[in-house]
């Protein structure tokens, strides 16, 4: 168990969990780890090498370069890398390779005050003893709208309907994988952001944290 407070935030794609996690870290002076970025880094390295993100061999081949690689934010947040990250995350050996990094961050965050981790298995696998667990979600249609606005600003021609289908596939893959599937921890509080703006969603999450931490 961590000696410092840990806030575990899980949830579906485009639900707002990353935005909420960053905001909570800033409000409480905690360190933040976007665990999805770890899998995106592995995915980006696989794509750069011309490999298949669904291939166990291709994914494991880039792990030795993970620690010394820096991927530009724009590339890391691209739709292609996001899709590839979902495929890479299914591979049990990749998850095992990144497990120690995540648990070490939770136990010993750089600032020493507390840690906020967001992902899909934080409350169930990485930090099962976290005193605060939040599962963030929203309707598929709303999540697709958010992703469409984000991608449209980058010049993507994907339609809302296309993104609805992609998100449904992503949800099924994340929730159905054998290794650490995405699911709400039994003691996590669900936060539905479908009808919430950013400020309201953050406020709701902050109230949950304060109720749990006192």
Q: What is the pLDDT of residues 35-53, one digit of tens each?
A: 999 999 999 999 999 999 9
Confidence label for 151 from pLDDT (cuts 50, 70 and 90): confident
Task: Report the distance separating Cα 40 and Cα 167, nearest Å.
Answer: 16
* pLDDT value, residue 113: 96
* pLDDT value, residue 67: 85
* pLDDT value, residue 105: 96
The Cβ of residue 97 has, within 10 Å, a number of other Cβ atoms equal to 17
What is the phi/psi pair of residue 168, to 5°? -60, -40
For domain 6-209, give the fold: Rossmann fold (3.40.50)
Q: Are strands 31-34 and 6-11 parallel, antiparallel or unpaired?
A: unpaired
* pLDDT value, residue 21: 98
pLDDT tens across 168-214, in order? 999 998 999 888 899 999 999 999 999 999 999 999 999 999 999 98
* pLDDT value, residue 2: 60
**Token digits of residue 64:** 């030795």
User: Which pTM value belongs to this model?
Assistant: 0.90
Helix ranges (H only) for the chain are: 17-28, 35-48, 56-66, 73-76, 79-88, 92-107, 140-152, 160-176, 198-213
- Looking at every residue in the chain, the average pLDDT score rounds to 94
Residues of the chain with pLDDT > 90, as a percent, come to: 85
* pLDDT value, residue 8: 98
Asked whether residue 1 carries a pLDDT value surpassing 60, the answer given is no
Task: Report the distance separating Cα 174 and Cα 168, nearest Å.
Answer: 10
pLDDT tens across 86-108, in order? 999 999 999 999 999 999 999 99
Average pLDDT over residues 119-134: 97
* pLDDT value, residue 100: 92
């Amino acid at each position: 168990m961590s000696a410092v407070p840990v806030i575990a935030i899980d949830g579906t794609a485009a639900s707002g969990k990353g935005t909420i996690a960053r905001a909570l870290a800033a409000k409480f002076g905690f360190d933040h780890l976007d665990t999805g970025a770890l899998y995106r880094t592995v995915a980006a390295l696989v794509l750069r090498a011309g490999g298949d993100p669904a291939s166990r061999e291709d994914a494991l081949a880039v792990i030795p370069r993970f620690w010394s690689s820096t991927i530009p934010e724009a590339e890391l947040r691209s739709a292609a890398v996001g899709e590839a990250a979902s495929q890479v995350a299914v591979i049990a050996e990749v998850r095992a390779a990144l497990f120690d990094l995540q648990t070490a961050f939770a136990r010993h965050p750089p600032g020493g005050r507390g840690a906020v981790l967001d992902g899909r298995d934080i409350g169930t696998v990485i930090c099962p003893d976290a005193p605060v667990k939040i599962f963030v979600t929203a309707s598929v249609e709303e999540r697709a709208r958010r992703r469409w606005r984000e991608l449209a600003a980058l010049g993507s021609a994907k339609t809302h309907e296309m993104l609805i289908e992609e998100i449904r596939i992503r949800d099924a893959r994340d929730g159905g994988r054998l290794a650490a599937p995405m699911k709400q921890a039994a003691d996590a509080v669900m936060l539905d952001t479908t009808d919430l703006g950013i400020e309201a969603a953050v406020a709701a999450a902050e109230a949950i944290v304060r109720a749990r931490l006192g």
